[in-house]
Amino acid sequence: MLLADFHVHSTWSDGRLSIPELVDLFGRSRHDAIAITDHVVNSDSLLGKIAHGCRLSVTKDNFDAYRAEIEREARRAWDTYRMIVLAGCELTRNALTGRRSAHALALGLERFVSADGPVEEMLTRAHEAGAVTVACHPNEQSDWFANTFYLWDRRKEVAKLVDLWELACRWDLFPQVSRARLPYVGNSDFHDRPHLYAWKTLMSCEKTPNAVLAALRAGKGLGVTRLPDPFPAAARVPDETEPLRPCTIVPGFVEPVAA
């Protein structure tokens, strides 16, 4: 059984950790597969332009450098931790209302895909680029600003364009996704260290990038789980200089050594 997290942000968009730091954190905590999925934000709206102005998006111009760093770190992750690192992005269209906003992961991405234009065309481009598509946090979230209902409201129309739906994302579960019997994954939407203990995917397949992508594309052998949280909500959240405490469910987790 593989422990996987296919929704992880780095400093290439709004994550707190660099890709090498992510590889060490997820590798040391014995994850088998992760995907780096930084935001590719649309640039054809005011909100999108603001995100680009704040450098919160991977762009067409820096995509090759982003992809090259993932490739480099994927080799190191495999050599050091026997962990798979997939390249991806989170195609991000934010509108003034959640009903019109859509976020979708594109996993196994080799080339840049724009988030401009209609959402359906964005997903079609991701499929044409060979990526597996995942509807992110598709229903009501505890963080209201992250509510993105566009895909959920059109789930029948977009069914062929969306390979998987997040049944679980960060600390939220979406029972509607289960009731609708949609193919699902669980992801942490990792932005910072405390999110290491959020929702994950369990999968039963060979531990190779191609087998992982094929299982995702087929929606076969997938489950969701959460790691025991050493920092429950009532507890203080650690600051970034504080090393993580060992996590009991992940055998052999080694506390990161301070540099």
Q: Which residues bind Zn ion (CB under 5 A)?
A: 90, 103, 136, 189
Q: How far is the CB of 136 from Zn ion (least distance, A)?
A: 4
DSSP letters along 183-214, please? -EEEE--B-SGGGGGSEEEEE-S-SSHHHHHH
Distance in angstroms (rounded) separating the CA atoms of residues 3 and 158:
28
Burial grade of 84 (CB within 10 A; 0-12, 13-18, 19 or more): buried
Q: Which is nearer to Zn ion, 13 or 29 (CB)?
A: 13
Q: Which is nearer to Zn ion, 51 or 74 (CB)?
A: 51
| Token pair listed for 207 | 């531990």
Q: How far is the CB of 149 from Zn ion (least distance, A)?
A: 12
Pairing of strands 102-107, 84-93: antiparallel
Strands (E), the chain: 2-8, 33-41, 84-93, 102-107, 132-135, 164-169, 172-173, 184-187, 199-203, 222-226
Q: Which is nearer to Zn ion, 34 or 205 (CB)?
A: 34
Q: How far is the CB of 12 from Zn ion (least distance, A)?
A: 12
Q: Which is nearer to Zn ion, 132 or 136 (CB)?
A: 136
Distance in angstroms (rounded) separating the CA atoms of residues 44 and 46:
7
- CB-based closest residue to Zn ion: 103
Helix (H, G, I), strand (E, B) or coil at 216: helix
State whether the Cα torsion 162-64-14-37 is positive or negative: positive
Q: Which is nearer to Zn ion, 29 or 188 (CB)?
A: 188
Q: How far is the CB of 101 from Zn ion (least distance, A)?
A: 9
| Token pair listed for 212 | 């992982």
Q: Which is nearer to Zn ion, 6 or 112 (CB)?
A: 6
| Token pair listed for 12 | 């290439």
